[in-house]
Structure 1
Amino acid sequence: MAGKDQDPQGEWEQLRPDALLAIRGLADSLEVGDIPTQELLDLYVYSKRVVAEVMGARFDMEFPGLSPEFHRLREDLSETMVSRYGGSVPAPYLVVPYGSKVHEKLFHILLQRFDTEVPAGLLRVPTRDSVHTERRVRELRELGLDIDTKKHSGIDTYRLCSLNLDFSLIPKIIFNTARDKKHSLISRAELEKILKAG
């Protein structure tokens, strides 16, 4: 596998031969048909991992590295949080969560296909088939993004419906941050009172 510090183009070039060998090996084994089940499963798991890596590198080659719209929405959310609760809630609780590169990549895909259903499998490409992809999308929704989920022919899909944030979720964001910090700066009861009044 390629190193994490390698550029996407170099990673793509390095991983492509391994992906081709893995796919051909799996295809040959499926064609033979009488291969032991465990051996076939091992080939499948290996092939899936290598292909996920190479396709993730390919995605990274096209990803601009920065989604201005993602950062603008986060700034809008931060400014609104501070304007509403800056005088009454401790500043460490007014931090916008879920700003990782993975969140940004997922948002980028949804934005590119705005108001179109995107299969969950496509969203797994930039995360290299991470099992947590769907959770990261749910976290984007927790920020107030209007992301619709549906099932089509047994396939989960996600659709970014609007770029207008739902600011009514701000109290929940603040409360969850405080909970993660074990309510160390203000009591839970006092925070709940402020958020309900706000």
Structure 2
Amino acid sequence: MESRKTADAQQPEDRWDQLRPSAVLAIRELAASLESGGRARDVLDLYVYSKRIVAEVMEARLEMEFPEPCVEFHQIRDELAVAMADQYGDVVPRPYLTVPYGSRVHEKLFQILLQRFDTEVPAGLLRIPTRDSVHSERRLRELRELGLDISPSKSSGVDTYRLRSLRLDFSLIPRIVYNNAQKKKHALMPKAKLKKALGTS
């Protein structure tokens, strides 16, 4: 755990330089094992190792490509915060009006989609910020919950995502507010009263 924390604290350029030779070596060893028709156990072990080290080095390379902060991402979140306050600031507790899903992973996913705006982006590319984890799909769903027009599709059998617009769908705001209240176990306002305030009762 400590080594992971130390690695994450490094600058992306330093992680890239540090990990790249190991990634190159791992890929070469995997390729050699595949070419020689090595034992299944050896090939699989090399594959698992090379997949992990390549995922780490690609994450570092992505960080170099997309330094934080992403102005557009924060502008959209600010826009949503204003709209939530305008609609429900007088009738709903302020803690329910916070904009969720603002992690660095959410931001990086948005940056990738924005760079390739209105084009299909393979899900594999979008897994890089989470080191090839399927959690990226969940984070993308959360971005859609904010009202972003991100459409999932398939291209040649590959899952893809496309950012079609930077205009938010404000009709989703009641659901965002309600989800915030659920996370706080409706401690600040009874559920029935909240539903009435949101017009969802």
Q: TM-score, normalised by structure 1?
A: 0.95
CA-to-aligned-CA distance 1:5-47 (integer Å, 9 cap, x gap):
1111110010011101110111111111141x23222211111
Q: Does 1:14 align with 2:15?
A: no
Q: Does 1:42 align with 2:29?
A: no
Q: Does 1:64 align with 2:70?
A: no
Query: 29, 46, 56: which one pairs with 1:53?
Result: 56
Q: CA deviation at 1:49?
A: 0.6
Query: 30, 34, 39: which one pairs with 2:34?
Result: 30
Please give the alpha-carbon distance, in whole angstroms, between the structure 1 residues aligned to 2:200 and 2:143: 26
Structure 1 segments of 4+ aligned residues over 6 angstroms from their partners: none
Secondary structure of 1:158 counterpart:
strand
Q: Does 1:3 align with 2:2?
A: no
Cross-structure match for 2:145: 142
Please give the alpha-carbon distance, in whole angstroms, between the structure 1 residues aligned to 2:49 and 2:69: 31
Structure with higher helix content: 2
Please give the alpha-carbon distance, in whole angstroms, between the structure 2 residues aligned to 1:126 and 1:188: 36
Please give the alpha-carbon distance, in whole angstroms, between the structure 2 residues aligned to 1:138 and 1:188: 25
Secondary structure of 1:3 counterpart:
helix
Give ranges in structure 1 of 5+ residues lacking alignment: none
After TM superposition, list the pairs within 5 Å mapping 1:152-191 onto structure 2.
152-191=155-194
Residue identity matched to 1:75: D
C-alpha RMSD over aligned residues: 1.4
Q: TM-score, normalised by structure 2?
A: 0.94
Q: Percent of pairs identical after alignment?
A: 64
Query: 122, 127, 130: which one pairs with 2:125?
Result: 122
Query: 99, 115, 135: which one pairs with 1:112?
Result: 115
Q: CA deviation at 1:197?
A: 6.7
Please give the alpha-carbon distance, in whole angstroms, between the structure 1 residues aligned to 2:84 and 2:156: 40
Equivalent residue pairs, number: 197
Please give the alpha-carbon distance, in whole angstroms, between the structure 1 residues aligned to 2:54 and 2:200: 51
Q: CA deviation at 1:157?
A: 0.4
Give ranges in structure 2 of 5+ residues lacking alignment: none
Please give the alpha-carbon distance, in whole angstroms, between the structure 2 residues aligned to 1:157 and 1:180: 30
